[in-house]
Structure 1
Amino acid sequence: MLLLVPADPLRPHRPDQHFAPEATAAREAGVPVAVVDHDALARGDVKGALGRLPGRGEAVYRGWMLHAERYAAFAEALSAQGVTLRTRAEQYRRAHELPGWYPALTSVTPATTWTAGDGREAFELARVELGDGPAVLRDYCKSMKHHWDEAAFVPDLTDGEAAWAVARRFRELREDDFVGGFVLRRFERFTSAEVRTWWRDGRCVLVGPHPDTPDRPPVDDPDLTVVTPLVAALQLPFVTVDLALRDDGVWRVVELGDGQVSDRPTTVEPARLLTPALTPNLVDHGVVAPD
């Protein structure tokens, strides 16, 4: 097993400071660590991104987000050096981009429509299809929730001009990071902070706070009875599922993401995440009980 993390831009032979605690925890557990140049990966220079790898075999990446196409090139280049990412390129896209996971989770997440591309005509079709009432705008991978009023929240889907103004501003702010198309999610009122759950091979292995609210641990663990078989059916090796409690007392899925590029809250010890993430077989190593 090998852990891959981004290199520090100023000290390219060392892990990026954001991921250094995880690199340290991996090494203490006897797992080799290699650094990759994220900036080179992001611009498509895969050969320039990879240095010498300490061995062959299976690897897990823990780093910044990559476009699905860049991840696929990354996986291919690693394969040429005898290293196989546990999460295949197709699996990464399915977890990283909302259209990949939404159909499997429609019963436990807000109603959603999306477009292919950033054209207004397609946006109008998606807006009308979702119906009336408020909505939240994002693209396939990310929202601009820190620009809530101007680029995320659509107060009334029936007001086409106002909705398009939000979409246009969102597109301006995302610039080259815009992925796929516009996504409209029906607004639901939540009464709790988001909870980030971590999953290996369809099993929840860690429940903790969301990175935006690291000092607000869950008061109660979310009820995963309904969610578990849906996540398992996606057959994804390492994902996160963010949940929040709706005002009617029902836990709802806010987001699903690839676990390799999901941020770890600062209040969660690295080893608590890396033990299940890096263990080759969870059942054989006693991390979870078999069914």
Structure 2
Amino acid sequence: MLLLVPADVLRPRRPDEHFAEEVSAARDAGIEVAVIDHDALARGGSADAAVARIPAADHPTRTAAVYRGWMLRAPAYEALADALARRGVALRTSASDYRGAHELPGWYATAAAHTPETVWTTGDDRDDFTAACAALGSGAAVLRDYTKSMKHHWAEAAYIPSVADPDAAWKVAARFRELREDEFTGGFVLRRFESFTGAEARTWWAGGDCRLVTAHPDTPDDLPAADLDPTFLAPSIRALNLPFVTADLTRRDDGRWRLVEIGDGQVSDRPRTTPAADLIAALTGAHRV
């Protein structure tokens, strides 16, 4: 396995400090590590220049290259995959697989039984947003786009008290759109509000198997409940047929575990309370729940 991580902005030959522990754990496990210029990719710069420090493979493809880094938009990830392929390096997660995990429409239908009812638009047109509200009918909803919410701006840009009040709902959507600026992805996503209790847990899946259960990085000291058994989600995860994903779970107020979201594992943050070696072991198949 080849592990790819973002380079330090000031010292481009070195890994970004945020991923230093994972780099050290990977090297201890005998895994080769290389750095890429994440900022160049994110800005839409030359993908070939961004991967210039990765040695070209000695054979047609080096299998199972895995990226562990900052979030990339799907087109930037595709550019990364293409540039690596020109160097004879194959990412374990293809560009289409990345989009399928990273953007909500790619995974929602398969996991719909375990997650709040959801509708979405393509783009940010107000009429389409109003139609999406009507599709939910009534009640409260939580707003996001295909990849991210603004939950830290809950009252002004995330929580919609009633989808049956289109003017008030649009006020929240307009503020969300303003805050997301150029990072707005895909369209508006409306998720029916459900009342959750306690912190989220992050589960890590490779090859359709749950390899690790951790705290969520937003609440690293709130360890997962002892009775959390993520295997109820296994049929849905396996049906997605994605190489490496995370699934964030939380308990609803009726006691049932619910799926908050699925994400591509390459760009999912590791909570500081989980040793980097555990994640590397999960990636290599040496760790399994």
- After superposition, the C-alpha distances for 1:190-230 in whole angstroms (9 at most, x for unaligned) are 11210000000110000010000001101224233431111
Distance 1:207 1:221, change over 3 A: farther
Mark the runs of 5 or more structure 2 residues left unpaired by the alignment: none
Aligned twin of 2:28: 28
Shift of 1:261: 0.3
- Partners of 1:221 and 1:21 lie apart in 2 by 29
- Counterpart residue number, 1:252: 258
- 2:98 and 2:18 map into 1 onto residues whose CA distance is 22
Distance 1:14 1:225 in 2: 38
Which runs of structure 2 are paired with 1:205-224 in the superposition (5 Å)? 205-224=211-230
Superposition deviation, residue 288 in structure 1: 4.4
- For 1:5 and 1:174, locate their aligned partners in 2 and report how far apart those are by CA, in whole Å: 25
Indicate the residue corresponding to 2:232 in structure 1: 226
Deviations 1:234-253 (A, max 9, x none): 00110000000001110000
| Aligned match of 2:125 | 119
- 1:69 equivalent in alignment to 2:70: no
Q: Tell me how far apart the structure 2 counterparts of residues 194 and 74 of structure 1 sit (CA, whole Å).
A: 31
The residue matched to 2:135 in structure 1 has which SS?
A: helix
One-letter amino acid of the counterpart of residue 172, structure 1: E
Flag as ranges the 4+ runs of structure 1 deviating above 6 A: none
Following superposition, the deviation at residue 164 of structure 1 comes to: 0.3
Sort the Cα spacing of 1:221 and 1:259 in 2 relative to 1 into closer, same or farther, 3 A.
farther
Structure-2-length-normalised TM-score: 0.95
Q: CA RMSD in A?
A: 1.2
Does the CA-based 8 Å contact 1:127-1:157 persist in structure 2? yes
Partner of 1:100: 106
1:196 counterpart = 2:202: yes
Q: Which residue of 1 aligns with 2:52?
A: 51
Deviation at 1:55, TM superposition (A): 5.4
Question: Structure 1 residues 83 and 221 mapped into 2: Cα distance closer, same or farther (>3 Å)?
Answer: farther
1:60-209 alignment, distance < 5 Å? 60-209=66-215
Question: What count of residue pairs does the alignment treat as equivalent?
Answer: 283
Do 2:55 and 2:87's aligned partners in 1 also have CA atoms closer than 8 Å? Answer: no
Residue of structure 1 equivalent to 2:13 = 13
| Contact 2:210–2:288 (Cα < 8 Å) also in 1 | no
User: Structure 1: which 5+ runs fail to align?
Assistant: none
1:134 Cα offset (Å): 0.8
Distance change (3 Å), C-alpha of 1:105 and 1:186: same
Output the amino acid matched with 1:14: R
On the 8 A contact 1:223/1:251 being kept in 2, the answer is no
Show the counterpart of 1:240: 246
Aligned partner letter, 2:277: A
Contact 1:105 1:230 in 2 (8 A): yes
